[in-house]
């Protein structure tokens, strides 16, 4: 079983924690993680992009000039694709980009992402995430004390609005609950920080 140190927000070691081999010691399958990322990004797409064909563009109902005798090429409408203000030939139209990603594969990818972060020394466990007041300076101090940089994902077992609001001034610092955990978010951020309660919750849900 992998063992990690638990830190408080002052950077002091508050104890040690044994992690589940099932969740934090899973062998990494890069193909599965790639699939998880592709599926996640595809499912975020709205698919609303739409262009008008020649039949949908307003106007162009009258033949611009007679068929023969003008010396110009014949034309039946000013909304043909090669005309300015004409329709678009192969433009996008609303479609569904979503991909199916089975629950077992989704959970396996999440376990592997956690294992990869732990193996790369990019996962920290803290006692709890608390700020005395909603001020950015408290989160900044915690980031510097723990040596985390500015690209961090904080994971809590339950909603932590004070911490979320205090850290919102950092563009690459994000806070989510274990209910919203996914492989994409874990791999996107350089550092992952879980509170002790979140570790227990993750092991309970994904260790089965």
Domain encompassing residue 89: 47-96
Same domain, 83 and 157: no
d(CA 208, CA 194): 19
Residue 159 belongs to a domain with what CATH number? 3.40.1370.10
- Cβ count near 200 (within 10 Å): 15
- Pair (74, 85) in one structural domain: yes
Kindly tell me if the per-residue pLDDT of 44 is higher than 90. Answer: yes
Among 60, 76, 96, where does a domain finish?
96
The first and second tokens of residue 163, run together, are: 């911490």
Is 111 found in the same domain as 85? no
pLDDT tens by residue, 86-144: 999 999 999 999 999 999 999 999 999 999 999 999 999 999 898 889 999 999 999 99
CA angle 107, 111, 114 (to 5 degrees): 140
CA atoms within a 13 Å half-sphere pointing along the CA-CB vector of 36: 25
Strands 173-177 and 13-18: unpaired
Residue 204 per-residue DSSP state: H
How far is the CA of 162 from the CAs of 35, 185, 207, in angstroms?
Answer: 34, 21, 29
As a whole number, mean pLDDT of residues 185-204 equals 93
- Residue found under tokens 């004070």: 162
d(CA 205, CA 110): 11
Residue 145 and residue 122 in one domain: yes
pLDDT at 83: 95
Query: Sign (positive/negative) of CA torsion 202, 206, 207, 208?
Result: positive
pLDDT on residue 32: 96
Question: Which segments of 52-150 are extended strands (E)?
Answer: 123-126
Q: Which two tokens stand for residue 122?
A: 């990019």
Total tally of structural domains belonging to the chain: 2
Alpha carbon distance 114, 91 (integer Å): 40
For residue 208, pLDDT beyond 80:
no
Q: Do 40 and 59 reside in the same domain of the chain?
A: no
- Identify the pLDDT of residue 1: 76
Provide mean pLDDT across the span 180-204. 93
How do 191-195 and 123-126 pair as beta strands? parallel
Q: Are residues 125 and 30 in the same domain?
A: yes
- The structure tokens 């690459």 sit at 172
Q: Residues 9, 89: one domain?
A: no
Indicate if 115 and 162 belong to the same structural domain.
yes
Mean pLDDT in residue range 75-87: 95
Q: Which residues pair with 18 in a beta bridge?
A: 3
**So what's the pLDDT on residue 2?**
81
Q: What is the pTM of this model?
A: 0.82
**Residue 147: what pLDDT?**
87
Among 34, 62, 96, the domain boundary falls at 96
The per-residue pLDDT of the chain, averaged, comes to 93
Report the SS3 class of residue 38: helix
What's residue 39's pLDDT? 96
* 66-74: average pLDDT: 95
- Contact (CB, 8 A) for 10 and 145: yes
- pLDDT one-digit tens code per residue, 131-187: 889 999 999 999 999 989 899 999 999 898 999 999 999 999 999 999 999 999 999
- Final residue of a structural domain among 58, 74, 96: 96
């Amino acid at each position: 079983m992998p063992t990690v140190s638990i830190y408080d927000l002052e950077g002091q070691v508050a104890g040690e924690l044994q992690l589940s081999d099932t969740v934090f010691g899973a062998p990494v399958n890069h193909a599965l993680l790639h699939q998880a990322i592709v599926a996640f990004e595809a499912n975020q797409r709205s698919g609303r992009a739409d262009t008008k064909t020649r039949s949908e563009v307003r106007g162009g109902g009258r033949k611009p000039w007679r068929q023969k005798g003008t010396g110009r090429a014949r034309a039946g409408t000013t909304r043909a694709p090669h005309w300015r203000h004409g329709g678009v030939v192969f433009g996008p139209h609303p479609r569904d980009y979503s991909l199916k990603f089975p629950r077992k594969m989704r959970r396996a990818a999440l376990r592997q992402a956690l294992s990869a972060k732990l193996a790369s020394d990019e996962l920290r466990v803290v006692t709890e995430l608390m700020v005395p007041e909603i001020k950015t300076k408290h989160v900044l101090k915690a980031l510097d004390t723990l040596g985390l940089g500015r690209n961090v994902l904080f994971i809590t077992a339950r909603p932590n609005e004070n911490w979320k609001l205090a850290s919102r001034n950092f563009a690459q610092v994000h806070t989510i609950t274990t209910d919203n955990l996914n492989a994409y978010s874990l791999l996107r951020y350089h550092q992952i920080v879980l509170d002790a309660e979140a570790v227990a919750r993750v092991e309970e849900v994904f260790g089965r």
